[in-house]
Amino acid sequence: MSTIEILQVGPYPAWDEERLNANFTMHRYFEASDKADFLKEHGNGIRGIATRGELGANRAMIDALPNLEVISVYGVGFDAVDLNAARERGIRVTNTPDVLTKDVADLGVAMLLAQARGVIGGESWVKSGNWASKGLYPLKSRVHGKSVGVLGLGRIGFEVAKRLAGFDMDIAYSDTGPKDFAKDWTFIADTVELAARSDFLFVTLAASAETRHIVGSKVIEALGPEGMLINISRASNIDEEALLDALESKKLGSAALDVFEGEPKLNPRFLALDNVLLQPHMASGTVETRKAMGALVFENLSAHFTGRPLPTPVL
Ligand code: 8YV
């Protein structure tokens, strides 16, 4: 184990923690009962942060670590890292792009199919005995051939659209501008217009201050009582109160969500709904992908502390 001290902000699978513990002195922040005292005790010695996409590293944490050099994020989303605080001190930031793209897209499509076709409810219908006692399961909605909007045609949004092309769908997308690689799909600059022409709307935007609540009441109402919203990005891209109001009033037909404000303690209003599919932020949650993510977290830290180029730098 080296003397290089790392603040571990959240848990990792055993295979990752074994490797990190063998190479660094790891301080398990997430297990500390008094986190402020923990940072006071260890802060001066800590040179790196190993965090998770949804946990990040805020300014208070960064400021508590006067000798911090690098922040390694287990995830592609670095919106929870205060980049300005890092930039002011020349602190490097890394993430784990690409290795998770296709798994996240896979789950997004699975969520669409599961919600539209009632897969979860169908299993409950069988296991509850309703099939025998109440008869046929209620009819659900077709997916293939319908219109889909992809809000954010980055790596994940592209993989979602590519998958849905296989379902013969009418695909449109919104982004900062039309993409040369998406000539078969329709570019629509306005998010409300994109929602209005979509049966299903995927939110696959990288989260930032600029995208906060980009899906608000106008977009949600444009998607409408037959529409479905699928979010595999960050909760902050959606006005969650407006979403809950629309789902409760049926102004929005349904939603399939993998991310939530305050997760894992999501708004209890979600739990009372029968028109939403809830997933525990698991879009990249396969053994294969998480092993690749953990390897990148380690490789970025290792590269930094041995003076080699960072594999996947953000800053
Ligand atoms: C990860 C994510 O599961 O990549 C991201 O930004 O949110 C997810 O893919 C998460 O960061 C792991 O903690």
Tell me the pLDDT tens digit for each residue of 76-132. Answer: 999 999 999 999 999 999 999 999 999 999 999 999 999 999 999 999 999 999 999
For residue 2, the model assigns a pLDDT of: 66
The whole-angstrom separation of Cα 200 and Cα 252 is: 11
Which of 69, 193, 263, 299 is labelled catalytic? 263
Residue 284 near ligand 1, beta carbon < 6 Å:
yes
Q: What are the strands of the beta sheet with 46-52, ordered from one edge?
A: 25-28, 5-8, 46-52, 70-74, 92-94
Closest CA to 266 of 306, 235, 310: 235
- Return the CATH fold of 101-278: Rossmann fold (3.40.50)
Integer-rounded Cα Rg, in Å, for the chain is 21
- What does the angle CA 194 – CA 197 – CA 201 come to, to the nearest 5 degrees? 60
Return the structure tokens found at 42: 């260890």
For residue 1, the model assigns a pLDDT of: 57
Q: In which element (H, E) is residue 49 found?
A: strand 46-52
3-state secondary structure of 254: strand
For residue 48, the model assigns a pLDDT of: 98
| Separation of CA 125 and ligand 1 centre (Å) | 32
What residues of the chain score a pLDDT lower than 70? 1-2
Share of the chain above pLDDT 90, in %: 99
Span between the terminal Cα atoms of the chain, in Å: 27
pLDDT for 31-60, tens place per residue? 999 999 999 999 999 999 999 999 999 999
Task: Report the atom number in ligand 1 closest to the C-alpha of 75.
Answer: 4
For residue 76, the model assigns a pLDDT of: 98
Q: What is the DSSP letter of 310?
A: P
| Separation of CA 280 and ligand 1 centre (Å) | 11
Active site residue 281: yes
For residue 31, the model assigns a pLDDT of: 98
Q: Whose CA is nearest to atom 7 of ligand 1?
A: 53
**Domain 5-99+288-305, CATH:** 3.40.50.720
Which of 27, 47, 155, 234 is labelled catalytic? 234
Q: Whose CA is nearest to atom 8 of ligand 1?
A: 75
Name the segment(s) of the chain with CATH classification 3.40.50.720: 5-99+288-305, 101-278
For residue 50, the model assigns a pLDDT of: 98
Kindly give the residue spans of alpha helices, DSSP state H, lying in 151-286: 155-165, 191-196, 217-223, 240-249
Residue 100 near ligand 1, beta carbon < 6 Å:
yes
Residue 77 near ligand 1, beta carbon < 6 Å:
yes
Residue 118 near ligand 1, beta carbon < 6 Å:
no
The whole-angstrom separation of Cα 107 and Cα 202 is: 12
Number of C-alpha atoms within 13 angstroms, CB side, residue 99? 20
Contacts of 276 (CB under 8 A, 6+ apart): 115, 247, 254, 255, 256, 257, 270
